[in-house]
Amino acid sequence: MAILACGYILVYFSEHLFWAHAKPDDTWLGWILTWLIYSLTSYIFLSAIALFRLRSFWELFLAGAIFGWLTEGIIVQTVYEELPLSISFTGLAWHALISVCMGWYALRRAIQKSLWRTAWLSVLIGLVYGFWAITWWVESDGMMLTPTADFFQFSFVATLFAILAYWLYDRSMPAGWQPSKWGLITAITILILYFLIITVPLVPLAAVILPLLLAPVLIPLNRNRNAVLSGSMLDAAPQPHPIWHYLPLLLIPFVALAFYTLAYALEIKLRTNIVIYVLTTPPGFVLWIMGVVKLWRRKPVPEMDTA
Q: How confident is the model at residue 141 (pLDDT cuts 50, 70, 90)?
A: low
To the nearest 10 degrees (0 to 180), the angle between helices 148-172 and 251-265 is 160
Q: Is the peptide bond before 179 cis (omega within 30 degrees of 0)?
A: no
pLDDT at 23: 85
Per the CB < 8 A criterion, the answer to whether 170 and 20 are in contact is no
Q: How confident is the model at residue 305 (pLDDT cuts 50, 70, 90)?
A: very low
pLDDT at residue 143 tops 50: yes
With the C-alpha atoms ordered 34, 52, 198, 140, is the resulting torsion angle positive or negative? positive
**Residue 244, number of CB atoms within 10 A of its CB:** 10
pLDDT at 140: 60
Q: List % helix, strand, coil for the chain (3-state, nearest 5).
A: 75, 0, 25
| Segment 187-237, tens digit of pLDDT | 999 999 999 999 999 999 999 999 999 999 999 999 888 877 678 999 988
List Cα–Cα distances, 191 to 168, 194, 195, 228, in angstroms: 26, 5, 6, 28
Amino acid at 247: L
Burial of 103 (0-12, 13-18, 19+ CB in 10 A): buried
List Cα–Cα distances, 28 to 113, 144, 170, in angstroms: 34, 19, 26
Q: With CA atoms as reference, report the closest residue to 106 among 120, 85, 93.
A: 120
pLDDT at residue 306 tops 50: no
Dist. CA 107–CA 248, nearest whole Å: 11
The model's pTM is 0.94
Amino acid at 216: P
pLDDT at 302: 55
Q: With CA atoms as reference, report the closest residue to 45 among 168, 163, 191, 160.
A: 191
Q: What is the mean pLDDT of the chain?
A: 92
Dist. CA 235–CA 22, nearest whole Å: 37
